[in-house]
């Protein structure tokens, strides 16, 4: 089991290591939103679901671990609001207030909450060990799917099982691959900073 005492104390996240405060925070929030917008353009439409495969979920989750709770939530709110007012950086270049009725709106809202949750987990050191990074991404994906599939079910007037079939199941394999990649990237980034100590894990 994790050493509970070791994750009780708030810890810095990667973005905290950037010099400056107000300017740093502004740049991190804008940069996070921009990264998610850019990654959303890596989009593959599937014929059997209105939800495309994109790179944005990986950017949301990895960025959430890197920037912390407040900056993460602010970055995803900025991404959502600017997309609604006309910046064409949702998946495939979609944008505008018409997205408020889109089947994928729930995922966009879920990004805000997932970034907040992951930022909080990073503050507890979950971004510093491969096992805890995978755990954090599982939680983050669950938050996104809760909002995404829930909205999808309501918007398309389908049951829970069909919403999961359309909006969750097709993406699980990709989520596993993203989690493994993040499990390698985050601890490596911390190791480069020389401040990689995280929550204690059992020897197996």
Report pLDDT for 156. 95
DSSP-derived letter for residue 196 is -
Q: Quick one: tokens of 90?
A: 């949702």
Q: Which CATH code for domain 4-193?
A: 1.10.1760.20
CA distances from 11 to 90, 113, 119 (A): 32, 20, 11
Domain spans, the chain? 4-193
Report pLDDT for 201. 41
**What global pTM score does this model have?**
0.89
Report pLDDT for 4. 46
Report pLDDT for 41. 93
DSSP-derived letter for residue 19 is S
Report pLDDT for 51. 94
Q: Tens digits of per-residue pLDDT, 105-116?
A: 999 999 999 999
Residues 6+ apart with CB under 8 A from 51: 103, 104, 107, 148, 152, 166, 167, 170, 171
Helix (H) or strand (E) holding 52: none
**Low-confidence residues in the chain, pLDDT < 50:** 1-2, 4-5, 198-204
Report pLDDT for 193. 82
Q: Tens digits of per-residue pLDDT, 40-60?
A: 999 999 999 999 999 999 999
φ and ψ at 167, to 5 degrees?
Answer: -115, 0
């Amino acid at each position: 089991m994790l050493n509970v005492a070791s994750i009780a104390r708030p810890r810095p996240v990667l973005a905290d290591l950037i010099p400056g405060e107000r300017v740093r925070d502004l740049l991190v929030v804008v940069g996070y939103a921009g990264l998610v917008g850019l990654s959303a353009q890596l989009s593959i439409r599937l014929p059997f679901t209105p939800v495309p495969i994109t790179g944005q979920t990986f950017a949301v989750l990895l960025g959430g671990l890197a920037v912390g709770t407040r900056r993460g939530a602010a970055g995803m709110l900025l991404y959502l609001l600017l997309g609604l007012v006309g910046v064409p950086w949702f998946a495939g270049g979609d944008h505008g207030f018409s997205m408020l009725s889109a089947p994928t709106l729930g995922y966009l809202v879920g990004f805000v909450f997932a970034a907040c949750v992951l930022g909080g987990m990073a503050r507890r050191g979950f971004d510093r060990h491969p096992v805890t990074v995978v755990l954090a991404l599982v939680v983050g994906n669950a938050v996104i799917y809760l909002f995404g599939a829930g909205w999808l079910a309501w918007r398309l007037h389908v049951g829970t099982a069909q919403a999961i079939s359309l909006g969750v199941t097709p993406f699980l394999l990709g989520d596993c691959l993203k989690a493994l990649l993040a499990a390698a990237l985050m601890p490596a980034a911390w190791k480069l900073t020389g401040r990689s100590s995280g929550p204690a894990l059992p020897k197996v």
